[in-house]
Amino acid sequence: MLFKQCKFKDKAKVRKQMKDQIISNIKNEIPYDKINTGRLFEYIDILLDDSDYDIRGEQFYYHHRWVKIVLDAELLSKVVSEYVNEHLNEFILEKNK
């Protein structure tokens, strides 16, 4: 089930922890001080909301055929950093362009 469709007690806590882990992992891989953090957080929220989440296993995952691939913070961090670096113009603050 998609994370945005899941309903459980500590959903906000899970989102915050995952966001914090992703941000701490990507700070050295992107020009963090020059980007719009609001847009970055918005992208991370979209990524998390559109990922499947296993409530019992407390983990994000992706189904490929009959295989369940766990999406941990490290893997999601790589996705975010690659996307931001590929679309840097969308994330750079106006004063830094």
Task: Provide the number of structural domains found in the chain.
Answer: 1
Name 4's Cβ contacts closer than 8 Å, sequence gap at least 6.
49, 50
Range of the domain at 49: 3-96
Summarised one tens digit per residue, pLDDT across range 10-63 is 999 999 999 999 999 999 999 999 999 999 999 999 999 999 999 999 999 998
CB 34 within 8 A of CB 92: yes
Rounded to two decimals, the pTM is 0.90
Cα separation of 63 and 75, whole Å?
A: 15
pLDDT value of position 96: 72
